[in-house]
Amino acid sequence: MTTQTHPSVLKKTASVTLSTPVQATLYVSLCALTLWTVYFTTNPAIHDRVHSVRHHTLLVGCH
């Protein structure tokens, strides 16, 4: 059994996926994930590099 999609369904999916609110949400989520990863990494090289920035922006001690 094969399923055929109608062009209108594809257009609707593309318009929702490419809409500005969806793009903005994905962009903000990606930025937040990147910052979270950099701030809370245990890799010594990255930790030492962002040590003071982390303390000033998050006001959290890391040791």
Those residues whose C-beta lies under 8 Å from the C-beta of residue 54, and which sit 6 or more positions away, are: 39, 60, 62
Residue 52 lies in a domain: yes
Say how many domains are in the chain: 1
Residue 2 lies in a domain: no
- Read off the pLDDT band of 59 (50, 70, 90): low
CB 62 within 8 A of CB 51: yes
Residue 18 lies in a domain: no
pLDDT tens string 7-53: 787 788 777 777 888 889 999 999 999 988 887 888 888 888 887 77
Residue 57 lies in a domain: yes
Residue 4 lies in a domain: no
Cα–Cα separations (whole angstroms), residue 49 to 25, 52, 57, 59: 28, 8, 14, 17
Residue 38 lies in a domain: yes
| pTM for this predicted structure | 0.57
Range of the domain at 51: 29-63
Q: How much is the pLDDT for 15?
A: 76
pLDDT at 1 over 80: no
